[in-house]
Amino acid sequence: MMLRFVCLCFAWLNTAACVLAQDSLKTKTLAGVVVQANRLAYFSSGNKIQKADSTTFSHFKTNNLADFLTNYSQVFIKSYGVGSLATPSLRGTGASHTAVLWNGFNLQSSMNGTVDLALLPAFLLDNVDIQHGGASALFGSGAVGGAIHLNSSANFGEKLSISAQIGAGSFANFQQGIKLKVSKKNFVTGVRFFNHAAENDFTFINTAKFGKPIEKQSNSAFKQYGFLQENYLKINEKQQIDLQIWYLNADRQVPPTLTTASSKASQQDESVRITTNWRYQRNKASYFARSAFFKEKLIYQEPDIQLFALSKAVTWIGEIESKIAISKNQLLNIGLNHTYFRAETDGYRIGKLQNRTSLFLSYKMNNAKDTWNTVVSLRKELIDNYFAPFTPSLGFEGILYKNWTLKGNIAKTYRVPTFNDLYWQAGGNPNLTPESGWSSEISVEYSPLPLLPKRVRKYRSNIELTLFNSLIDNWIAWLPNQQGKWEANNVLKVWSRGLELTANYSIDFQKVKLKSSISYNYVISTNEKVGKGDENSLHQQLIYVPKQTIQANISLIFNSLQLNYHQIFTGERFTTADSSQKLPFFSVGNLSIQQKIKSLSFQLQINNIWNKSYQQIAFRPMPMRNFMIVINYEF
């Protein structure tokens, strides 16, 4: 069945590409569109997309991706502590419902469906885009609550550049990084090395003990090192080929909880990621061929109980895609993806394999004035010998009236069961079916243009309100069976709904730039169907999904001096399925001061400036006030 499906997909892809390419020779280039391999840029109409500007992102080059998203996005980060596991959640969904893509390739683990953001150094990244809402038609399984896009960039013809930074902070926290890049007219090559280590022995208030004593965190040291090597070659004016190699090695101790006396547990992670991309532009059509190889290894050790667990996973991805300008106002995207997974762990007894083949298509149409556009996307995926749900989506956006913009999207979503869900001994269930559901959203954005004095050189402000709704059926949950043993089943139906409000303001005077932003999230995510024995969780808020979160940021730039302040409010979170126990709300402020002197820049970070005691996860303490000093040199 799979071979027949693959053959049909290739035949359809090649036939459509040839026919439409011939027709497109008689037409003009699509107005305002540069045809390239970026489905996010051209086929995500109606979705809310948050882009991180390079200036903002540069302040977090000594941090990991989880730290950046916590301060500057509406993604809720579920963190077990500094350097420990950190996973994303968008719009009330779980960690496995948020896809994380690097250069278009999904990094979600085939074993547990998540991505540990604490293992993604910001120093290795150039751009981060957050897509809110269902995107399964564009990016496949896992893009249910949204997707986080990580990208590298290359600018040709910039000659030689060197950047080096060193950071030192509280709790023996040391970080080093160096970036070298050679940029010629037709060739760019660069490499980035980083190293990060910390004792992480911070003091905290143990609220779980009588008298709330002050204690010091133990067995919490970590170290990471790795590199990213990138190459971009223009073969000619029509062809380009890219190659990226990313290596990471991390060694983390696993600290005890507030109620545990001590811990000797540790975890080692190692990964190799290699991607390559070939692009060919011919008249009105572009063709792409991509491949990726991911190899990951995890070792978890707990000497006190003589536990040694080794997990290995390999992923191969191959993808072909074409984009064709059918006419001045029409753009077609069609592609085929094949992904191969292999995983080995003691929990499966024997290694497991999985093949996924998916065909995807998007059609975009602009109106004559180029003020409105509509996108229809489709995806069908074959997983070994069964099909995932057919996945369509429809999005639109355009100018409603003068400075008012309206956009909306409705999409089918799905998530394929992970290897742990299917095969873990005991409790895995090989009869699981993919989770599936629908998500929808509608947004209105207002960008006022007031009259300003001449000394104001640049002004920008906008307010955006988004209402969203998502229903996920066959949600996989691990619950005790009649014998009291935990097992995975398609038992839950989860309904998530709410609103997102953002406001941004920036103004440039002669020597002063002021930027500010505030975002507010209100999310209700409840169980609408539960398994037998779990009736107390019916209509209750999902655990660790705060109903309310607020992020506020203000930045002041005067000549080469820059001040940034971030305030984060996280509402209460329930820690039990029946909502009988919860963590209180907390609010944390972070301050950054940066001064640039010629080729050198100096930065002081003060985290948790108000010295608050809080927990993101129950019984996992977070550090109180701490500092980081960073020196950066650019040539």
Q: Which residues contact 89 (CB under 8 A, 6 or more apart)?
A: 75, 76, 77, 78, 95, 97, 98, 145, 544, 545
Residue (of 204, 371, 277, 352) closest to 38 by Cα position:
277
Residue 256 structure tokens: 């005890």
**Helix and strand counts by DSSP (H, E) for the chain:** 6, 36
Measured CA to CA, the distance from residue 54 to residue 40 in angstroms comes to 18
SS3 content of the chain, % helix, strand, coil (to 5): 10, 55, 35
d(CA 596, CA 89) in angstroms, rounded, equals 36
200 touches 174 (CB < 8 A) = no
Count the neighbouring beta carbons within 10 Å of the beta carbon of residue 465: 15
Strands 146-151 vs 98-102: parallel, antiparallel or unpaired: parallel
Round to whole Å and give the CA distance between 279 and 50.
27
> Which residues have CB under 8 Å from 301's CB, separation 6+?
265, 266, 267, 307, 308, 309
For residue 270, list its beta bridge partners: 249, 297
Residue numbers of the chain with a pLDDT score lower than 70: 1-37, 53-55, 449-457
Residue 581, C-beta contacts closer than 8 angstroms, at least 6 positions apart: 574, 575, 618
Give yes or no for a contact between 99 and 143, defined as CB atoms under 8 angstroms apart.
yes
pTM as predicted? 0.91
Per domain, the residue ranges of the chain are: 2-634
Distances 8 to 24, 362, 546 between C-alpha atoms, Å: 24, 18, 46
Note the pLDDT of residue 517: 93
Rounded to whole angstroms, what are the CA distances from 584 to 77, 551, 574, 616? 16, 17, 9, 10
Q: According to the model, what pLDDT value does residue 508 have?
A: 82
The per-residue b/e assignment along 339-357, b for 16 or more CB within 10 angstroms, e otherwise, is bebbbbbebbeeebebebb
String of DSSP letters for 332-397 = EEEEEEEEEEEEEEGGGSS-EEEEEEEEEEEEEEE-TTSSEEEEEEEEEEEETTEEPPPEEEEEEE
pLDDT of residue 455: 57
Fold category of 2-634 in CATH: Maltoporin; Chain A (2.40.170)
pLDDT digits (tens, 9 = 90+) for 303-320: 989 999 999 999 999 999
pLDDT attached to residue 38: 76
HSE-CB of 341 using CA atoms within 13 angstroms: 22
Distance from the Cα of residue 94 to its chain's centroid: 13
Q: What is the 3-state secondary structure (H, E, C) of 204-256?
A: EECCCCCCCCEEECCCCCEEEEEEEEEEEEECCCCEEEEEEEEEEEEEEECCC
